[in-house]
């Protein structure tokens, strides 16, 4: 097919299903300006209807076999958040010890959670028993339940960006300690601890990049046509 014909056909196909250009721009803007937030949270409580919209966005995520293995535990009590912050602090000290010299000093300068600062935390869990023993699409890789739950987290994160709400994902803790704080059953997995709240500003780039920890990799180094032989890590 000639190049022009192909372009015209693509335009026609896109017109049938695509968003308007403003809508498209809004989606890409949410994706590109979403940030992980740690220290910019304001104490202002989030309105219930806004929280409900975020949860609806999360619950609209794809899931393996339509399993919907997630639960969303809304944690507002300062005492609970303080206990989880302590679990973070213990694990963060262990994490720091895993880095050496300058890298350790740089790690210790980073702020990696906003558990007590953000007015709301959402603990996103994954129940591997949801929907029965055999789940369509999960028959050969049991981790698909966790991957589905991560899709829900990302939906919530993007919706929050569009609402002007900051979200910070905290993963530095021993899962059992946080499960004990919330009384989560043993068979249920914690996928994400999300700190959620209005923010006074959002960084334009990932905070870890701005603070010199690690830079974004060039996309062209990560995309290959088939026949890729693999490459060492960076």
Ligand X SMILES: Cc1cc2c(cc1C)N(C[C@H](O)[C@H](O)[C@H](O)COP(=O)(O)O)c1[nH]c(=O)[nH]c(=O)c1N2
Interface contacts to ligand X, rule CB under 6 A: 35-36, 38, 112-113, 169-172, 206, 208
For ligand X, give the closer residue by CB, 70 or 169. 169
Question: Smallest distance from the beta carbon of 8 to ligand X, in angstroms?
Answer: 37
Which residue sits closest to ligand X, CB atoms considered? 206
Question: Smallest distance from the beta carbon of 89 to ligand X, in angstroms?
Answer: 12
For ligand X, give the closer residue by CB, 113 or 145. 113
Nearest CA-CA partner of 192 in 132, 135, 115, 133: 115
Cβ-in-10-Å burial (0-12, 13-18, 19+) of 231 comes to exposed
Question: Smallest distance from the beta carbon of 34 to ligand X, in angstroms?
Answer: 6
Q: State the alpha helices, DSSP H only, in 130-171.
A: 144-162
Question: Smallest distance from the beta carbon of 202 to ligand X, in angstroms?
Answer: 9
Instruction: Give the 3-state DSSP-derived string for 35-104, with helices as H, strands as E and coil as C.
Output: CECCCCECCCCCCHHHHHHHHHHHHCCCCHHHCCCEEEEEECCHHHHHHHHHHHHHHHHHHHHCCCHHHH
For ligand X, give the closer residue by CB, 113 or 131. 113
For ligand X, give the closer residue by CB, 131 or 148. 148
For ligand X, give the closer residue by CB, 131 or 188. 188
Question: Smallest distance from the beta carbon of 35 to ligand X, in angstroms?
Answer: 4
Backbone angles phi, psi at 182, to 5 degrees: -105, -5
Determine how many CB atoms are found less than 10 A away from the CB of residue 197.
23
Question: Smallest distance from the beta carbon of 15 to ligand X, in angstroms?
Answer: 32
Asked whether the CA dihedral 126, 142, 167, 95 is positive or negative, the reply is positive
For ligand X, give the closer residue by CB, 65 or 168. 168
- End-to-end Cα separation, the chain, in angstroms: 40
């Amino acid at each position: 097919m000639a190049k022009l014909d192909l372009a015209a056909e693509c335009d026609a196909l896109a017109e049938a299903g695509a968003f308007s250009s403003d809508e498209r721009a809004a989606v890409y803007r949410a994706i590109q300006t979403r940030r992980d937030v740690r220290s910019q949270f304001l104490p202002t409580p989030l309105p219930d209807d806004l929280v409900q919209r975020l949860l609806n966005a999360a619950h609209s995520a794809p899931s393996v076999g339509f399993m919907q293995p997630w639960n969303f535990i809304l944690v507002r009590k300062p005492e609970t958040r303080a206990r989880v912050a302590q679990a973070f602090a213990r694990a963060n000290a262990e994490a720091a010890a895993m880095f050496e010299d300058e890298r350790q000093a740089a790690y210790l300068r980073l702020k990696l959670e906003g558990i007590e600062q953000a007015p709301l935390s959402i603990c996103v869990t994954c129940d591997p028993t949801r929907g029965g023993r055999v789940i369509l699409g999960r028959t050969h890789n049991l981790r698909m339940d966790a991957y589905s739950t991560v899709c829900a987290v990302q939906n919530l994160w993007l919706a929050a960006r569009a609402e002007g709400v900051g979200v910070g994902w905290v993963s530095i803790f021993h899962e059992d300690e946080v499960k004990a704080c919330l009384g989560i059953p043993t068979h249920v997995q914690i996928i994400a601890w999300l700190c959620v709240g209005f923010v006074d500003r959002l960084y334009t780039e990932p905070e870890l990049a701005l603070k010199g920890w690690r830079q974004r990799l060039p996309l062209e180094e990560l995309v290959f046509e088939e026949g890729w032989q693999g490459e060492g890590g960076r």
